[in-house]
Amino acid sequence: MQSIQLIIANKKNEQHAKREIEYCYEHVRMFKSRLTSMGLTPDDFQRIEDLSKFPIFEKKEFRKHFPAGIFAGRYSLDDARLSRSPSSGTTGDRLVTFEFGTLLLERAINCSETLPKIATAFSATPRKHVRYAAPNCSDVECANPNSTMEDRLMKDGTLILPVYHDLLTTPEHMLDRAIEEIESYQPNLYYIDATHFAFLVRHAKKRNKVLPEAPIVATFSNVTKIAKAQINEMFSENAVKQLVSMSEFGWVAMECEHGHLHLNSKSFIFEFINEAGEPASVNELAEVIITSLDQGALPHVRYRTGDMYRLQKGNCSCGSSSPVVTFEGRKSDFIYLQDTFVTPNDVDEAIGVPSGLALYQLVQKEQTVFELRVIVNEHWLQSSEQQLNQRLSTLLGSNTELNIVKVPYIETGRSGKFRTCMPCEQGE
């Protein structure tokens, strides 16, 4: 069987992978049942290349067998040591994961080694973080206009700011309250959805408010160039740092000071599989498969993420030895054309940061018919629109039709997150 390209920090990870497989076989009912049906045992793993012998597991299997079939046998839902992490439900039904808070903290610290100021803020005492993201990304009621700051303050020191499920319909008094709570709480870390926080920053500027300075971690959904630019206008230059996190694993990849995204290869093994299901080469588009290494309450071996990356060649100038990748977006958000496809990252690169653009969404109405919906302000220029049309038309191909439409409102997805790309089966 052909081996799959792996990212391994050191030889120790190979040993951890072997222990993880043995642990899952002994304690996780779904894993043992699947291996038994294939005639496999942990002894079939002797070196890292053997990982490709084992089956790939998908989210639907974890949902189907939750909780008894996927929990390590010694743990249960009512274990007070476990943290509950619900997915937002962007691509379907929500998945709830439980894991030791100590393991999630260790994974986060490992991931943030590429950015020491984030590591310092994340582990600071007292912890004073604020979160601004879709309500589905939190376990507290933050869409209720009557909720108080105390209602939304988590035990770990994270303050969940008030926001509506459909972001752009959030009333101004809730936006004002979110700003007041930030000023009152004086956070040492912002943990935010970039599109959501850019919306709040625009409102703060309208109110002539300046939000307190603190490191900013942007996660939950795609971090667009335009959202980054809007946030950075209020904070220090390059204040926003991208974090790829998953409810199943915690922190997976972090952007360094040099603007490169580094995998958390201390905490996980990553496999890169291309569109043909074969090992991916450097800079080739690939789906990432993740294996955990720390024998947690809900371990994962060869878990299909649905997230697409490109592995970059060589080491980063920041000095980190962690592999550098480009995050291209979720596979479900790819726009497929007749002979090719474009990724959300491709689209965002083409959009850039034109003056006057606040928010955008590219909708594929038919295979070759597109509508770019834009929310703009008084700085929007006709020349910007023409240049944007040219860049996107080049990306999408000469046989496509593209219309740019100015709109006052763009609806969020059912998860409460914004999707920058809407493939035709999900468009109008």
- The answer as to whether 250 is a domain residue is no
Same domain, 271 and 343: no
Same domain, 14 and 104: yes
In this structure, what are the phi and psi dihedrals at residue 318, rounded to the nearest 5 degrees? -75, -15
Same domain, 285 and 391: no
The predicted pLDDT at position 88 comes to 63
115-133 pLDDT tens trace: 988 888 877 888 899 999 9
The predicted pLDDT at position 73 comes to 85
> What average pLDDT score do residues 292-311 get?
96
Q: Look up residue 184 and give its amino acid.
A: S
- In which band, very low, low, confident or very high, does the pLDDT at 91 lie, cut at 50, 70 and 90? low
pTM here is 0.92
Same domain, 85 and 8: yes
- The answer as to whether 150 is a domain residue is yes
In this structure, what are the phi and psi dihedrals at residue 386, rounded to the nearest 5 degrees? -65, -45
Give the number of residues written for the chain. 428
Q: Which of 292, 307, 331 is the last residue in one of the domains? A: 331
Distance CA 120, CA 60 (A): 36
Same domain, 238 and 143: yes
Same domain, 108 and 202: no
Same domain, 35 and 107: yes
Q: Which of 243, 270, 300 is the last residue in one of the domains? A: 243
- In which band, very low, low, confident or very high, does the pLDDT at 278 lie, cut at 50, 70 and 90? confident
- The answer as to whether 354 is a domain residue is yes
**Which residues span the domain enclosing 413?**
335-422
Cβ neighbours of residue 151 closer than 8 Å, sequence gap 6 or more: 140, 141
Same domain, 4 and 57: yes
Q: Token digits for 136?
A: 């589905």
- The answer as to whether 232 is a domain residue is yes
pLDDT > 90? residue 279: no
- Identify the CA nearest to 330 among candidates 251, 230, 417, 206: 417
Residue found under tokens 């950015």: 115
In this structure, what are the phi and psi dihedrals at residue 387, rounded to the nearest 5 degrees? -65, -40
In this structure, what are the phi and psi dihedrals at residue 398, rounded to the nearest 5 degrees? -70, -20
Q: Which of 298, 331, 364 is the last residue in one of the domains? A: 331
Same domain, 57 and 120: no
> What average pLDDT score do residues 318-339 get?
92
Percent of the chain with pLDDT over 70: 96
- The answer as to whether 282 is a domain residue is yes
The predicted pLDDT at position 16 comes to 95
- The answer as to whether 185 is a domain residue is yes
Query: Quick one: CA dihedral 46, 49, 54, 57, positive or negative?
Result: positive
Q: In CATH, what number is assigned to the domain containing residue 220?
A: 3.40.50
Give the chain as a 3 state SS string: CCCCCEECCCHHHHHHHHHHHHHHHHHCHHHHHHHHHCCCCHHHCCCHHHHHHCCCECHHHHHHCCCCCCCCCCCCCCCCCEEEEECCCCCCCCCEEEEEHHHHHHHHHHHHHHCHHHHHHHCCCCCCEEEECCHHHCCCCCCCCCCCCCCCECCCCEEECCCCCCHHHCCHHHHHHHHHHHHHHCCCEEEEEHHHHHHHHHHHHHCCCCCCCCCEEEECCCCCHHHHHHHHCCCCCCCEEEEEEECCCEEEEEECCCCCEEECCCCEEEEEECCCCCECCCCCEEEEEEEECCCCCCCCCCEEEEEEEEECCCCCCCCCCCCEEEEEEEHHHCEECCCCEECHHHHHHHHCCCCCEEEEEEEEEECCEEEEEEEECCCCCHHHHHHHHHHHHHHHCCCCEEEEEECCCCCCCCCCCCCCEECCCCCC
- The answer as to whether 427 is a domain residue is no
61-75 pLDDT tens trace: 999 999 999 999 888
Domain count, the chain: 3
Mean pLDDT of the chain: 91
Q: In CATH, what number is assigned to the domain containing residue 369?
A: 3.30.300.30
> What average pLDDT score do residues 340-362 get?
96
Burial class of 147 by CB neighbour count within 10 A (0 to 12, 13 to 18, 19+): middle
Q: In CATH, what number is assigned to the domain containing residue 55?
A: 3.40.50.12780
Same domain, 94 and 123: no
- The answer as to whether 377 is a domain residue is yes
pLDDT > 80? residue 237: no
Same domain, 109 and 204: no
Same domain, 18 and 102: yes
Q: Are 325 and 310 in contact (CB under 8 A)?
A: yes
